[in-house]
Amino acid sequence: MTGALVFDLDGTLIDSAPDIHAACVRMLADYGHAPLAPERIQSFVGNGAPRLVERVMGAVGETTGHADWLARFLAHYAADPATLTRPYPGVPEVLEHLAEAGHALGICTNKPETPAREILRRLGLDRHFAVVIGGDSTAATKPDPLPLARAYEALPGGPRLFVGDSEVDAATARALPVTFALFTEGYRKSPLADLPHDFAFSRFDDLPALVNRALAR
């Protein structure tokens, strides 16, 4: 059986935290601040760029100028979005396999749409996706179900599965609702048991079999 498969991006298909960290370090330097640790920045990822910048500002005690900070971050990230970013092991092969098997594939990320598309293009993954919804593509961001609903609207009907890595993704899936597969090796902060999910997997090689089980439910 074929279906509509929507994927989160950061921490799910790609390990993008190193480039996000690099752009944050450059933004911090613009305002005379020392770098924050990579793990710290990674823990701020998940609710989109405006919230990321808000959290970084909070960490260094800055309270004003959010729009300017955000513009700096987006400029640094646009200049260098995929130098350190890599797909998780098995991702390119599995996307190829799922597309060949006839599934319709989409992206629903809180990352802004332009860098999301650019990173997919640079990593050679863009051709698989019929729709890319970013954090600025609709009036809302995940965990509001609107962007995920828009992604499915752009794909053919049939059984649906959402694949993500975070608290935000689990909440979005529950809100829509849609069957949710959790990639356990991304950027989540909570123990597995605290994240509502229908399926969990740690290796992309296991995803095709999981998709078959999920769509047959």
List residues near ligand PGA by CB under 6 A.
Answer: 8-11, 45-48, 52, 109-111, 166
We find the least distance from the C-beta atom of residue 177 to Mg ion, in angstroms, to be 19
Q: Are 4 and 106 in contact (CB under 8 A)?
A: yes
Q: Residue 58: in which H helix or E strand, if any?
A: helix 49-59
Q: Catalytic residues, which ones? A: 8
Torsion angle, alpha carbons of 187, 190, 191, 196, to 10: -100
- How far, in Å, CA of 191 to CA of 167, rounded? 10
Give min distance, CB of 96 to ligand PGA, in A. Answer: 21
CA distance 41 to 36: 7
Residue closest to ligand PGA, measured at CB: 109
Question: How many residues in the shown chain lie near Mg ion by CB under 5 A?
Answer: 5
| Residues numbered 144-183 forming contacts with Mg ion, rule: CB under 5 A | 165-166
Indicate the annotated binding residues for Mg(2+): 8, 10, 165
Torsion of CA 71, 72, 75, 81, to 10 degrees: -110
Distance CA 43, CA 52 (A): 9
Within residues 72-131, the interface with Mg ion by CB under 5 A covers none
Write down the least CB distance from residue 1 to ligand PGA, Å.
27
How many Å from the N-terminal Cα to the C-terminal Cα in the chain?
Answer: 11
Q: Binding site: residue ranges?
A: 8, 10, 165
**Considering CB distances under 5 to 8 angstroms, the limit depending on partner class, which of ligand PGA, Mg ion, none binds residue 110?**
ligand PGA
188 contacts which partner out of Mg ion, ligand PGA, none, CB within 5 to 8 A by kind? none
| Residues in touch with Mg ion (CB under 5 A) | 8, 10-11, 165-166
